[in-house]
Structure 1
Amino acid sequence: MKINDTQRVNAINPYQRSAEAKSVTNDKKAGRKDEVSISPEAMEMLQANAAQASADAERAQKIQSLKEQVAAGTYKVDAGALADKLLPFLKGTGN
């Protein structure tokens, strides 16, 4: 009974073929360049976030101004505007 078959050519180095196949595929991949693209929907979201950030900055500035006026005692409430806003709720319409 033969354990080692000397007639088998492929059995000499079975891993050589897989290494050669990998190097060929790596060479093909080396020619390609990666590319990133942003969808139009994502661009719209980025612009909306930028607009929201600027609105938040304006709001924070207005709040800071109001805080300073209240702290200094110079903030005046417009009684007529406040009454106009409260009147529908006091009448029961709620709007």
Structure 2
Amino acid sequence: MEIKNTTNSFFDPYSAGLEKSAEARSDTRLKARAEGTGTEAPQGDTVSVSQDALLLTEARRAAQSAPDVRSDKVEALRIQVANGTYKPDSQLIAANLVREEPGLFQI
């Protein structure tokens, strides 16, 4: 299965705002230079994004740029399955699921 790098505003609600904000700042600066006013005061609405939102956006971009498939690991597992030596530890898998997703088990 291959996962394509797609931008989905559902997973990254801040990316569209960041891009629009950067474009607006750039347009304002260009207009100020063209008019010769020398001031770069924004006109109209402005967007402010928290540091947490910027960090989440950067983390998403880093995750998207990571390779989709770790071919060395896939090949090693493929060989184990073909040889009949692949024996997953169901208790370890369950423990890791509980550790990774604690919110699933809260009422």
Higher helix fraction: Structure 1 or Structure 2?
1
**Which fold has the larger relative contact order, with Cα–Cα distance below 8 Å and residues 6 or more apart in sequence?**
2
Same fold per superposition (TM over 0.5): no
